[in-house]
Chain A
Amino acid sequence: MTEVETKQLFEKAVEEYSDMITGLCLVRLGNRHDAEDCYQNIFLKLFKNKEMLKEEPEYLKSWLIRVAINECKNRFRFLSRHKTEPLTFADDCSIEMEDRTILDTVMTLPEKYREVIYLFYYAGYSVLELATILDSKENTIKSRLKRGREMLKELLTDKIEEEVII
Chain B
Amino acid sequence: MKRLEKAFDSIKTPESWKENLYKAAYAEEKITVKKRMRMPIKRAITVSIAAATICLASALTVGAITGMFNISDIFRIGFSDEVSADKYVRGQYQPLNVKCENEKFSFEALAFMGDVDETYTLLVARPKTDKVFDNMAIQVGVLENTFDDFDGFATSYILNGIPETDESGNTVYFFNVRNLPCCALSLDNSDSLVVRIYKIICYNNGCPGYDEVNLKMEFVPDVTVLSPIESVDHMEKVSINGNECIVQSTHISDYQASIYITYEIPEKIDVNSFNKRRGDRYIRDIFDLKSENAYLPVAEECPVKLVVDGEIIDFNELNEEIEHYPIDHIANIYEEEGVVSLSIALNYEPFTFSEAESVAFEIETTSGETKIIKIK
Binding site for B on A (CB under 8 A): 7, 10-11, 14-15, 18-19, 21-23, 26, 31-34, 36-37, 39-41, 43-44, 46-48, 70, 73, 76-78, 80-85, 88, 90-96, 98-99, 102-103, 106, 111-112, 117-118, 121-122, 135-136, 149, 152, 160, 164-166
Closest B residue to A76 by beta carbon equals B321
> Given B28, B80, B207, which contacts A44 in the complex, CB threshold below 8 Å?
B28
B236 within 8 A of A: no
Q: Is the CB of B321 within 8 A of A73?
A: yes
B156 within 8 A of A: yes
Q: Is the CB of A23 within 8 A of B8?
A: yes
Using C-beta atoms within 8 Å of the partner chain, give the interface range for chain B: 35 or more
Question: Which residues in B have their C-beta under 8 angstroms from that of A80?
Answer: 318
B11 within 8 A of A: yes
Q: Is the CB of A11 within 8 A of B22?
A: yes
Closest A residue to B118 by beta carbon equals A81
Question: Which residues in A have their C-beta under 8 angstroms from that of B26?
Answer: 47
- Tell me the dominant secondary structure on chain A's binding face: helix
Please measure, in the bound complex, the distance between the C-alpha atom of A121 and the C-alpha atom of B22, giving whole angstroms.
30
Q: Is the CB of B25 within 8 A of A47?
A: yes
Please measure, in the bound complex, the distance between the C-alpha atom of A23 and the C-alpha atom of B180, giving whole angstroms.
24
Q: How far is the CB of A97 from chain B (nearest CB, A)?
A: 11
> Given B1, B14, B320, B325, which contacts A121 in the complex, CB threshold below 8 Å?
B1
> Given B4, B81, B139, B157, which contacts A117 in the complex, CB threshold below 8 Å?
B4
> Given B7, B137, B162, B208, which contacts A102 in the complex, CB threshold below 8 Å?
B7
> Given B7, B12, B276, which contacts A19 in the complex, CB threshold below 8 Å?
B12
B268 within 8 A of A: no
Question: Which residues in A have their C-beta under 8 angstroms from that of B24?
Answer: 40, 44
Q: How far is the CB of B93 from chain A (nearest CB, A)?
A: 17
Closest A residue to B12 by beta carbon equals A19
Beyond the given A33-B137, A112-B324, could you list 4 further A-B residue pairs with CB under 8 A, ordered by the A residue number? Answer: A14-B18, A78-B178, A82-B176, A135-B325
B376 within 8 A of A: no
Please measure, in the bound complex, the distance between the C-alpha atom of A112 and the C-alpha atom of B321, giving whole angstroms.
9
Write 27 A-B pairs (CB below 8 A) sorted by A numbering. Answer: A10-B25, A11-B22, A18-B18, A19-B12, A22-B11, A31-B158, A33-B137, A33-B139, A36-B14, A36-B158, A47-B25, A47-B26, A73-B325, A78-B157, A80-B318, A81-B81, A82-B79, A83-B162, A90-B206, A91-B207, A99-B7, A106-B4, A106-B7, A118-B8, A135-B275, A165-B4, A166-B1
Please measure, in the bound complex, the distance between the C-alpha atom of A117 and the C-alpha atom of B7, giving whole angstroms.
12
Please measure, in the bound complex, the distance between the C-alpha atom of A19 and the C-alpha atom of B157, giving whole angstroms.
20
Q: How far is the CB of B81 from chain A (nearest CB, A)?
A: 6
B70 within 8 A of A: no
Question: Which residues in A have their C-beta under 8 angstroms from that of B79?
Answer: 81-83
B29 within 8 A of A: yes
B78 within 8 A of A: yes
Q: Is the CB of A32 within 8 A of B208?
A: yes
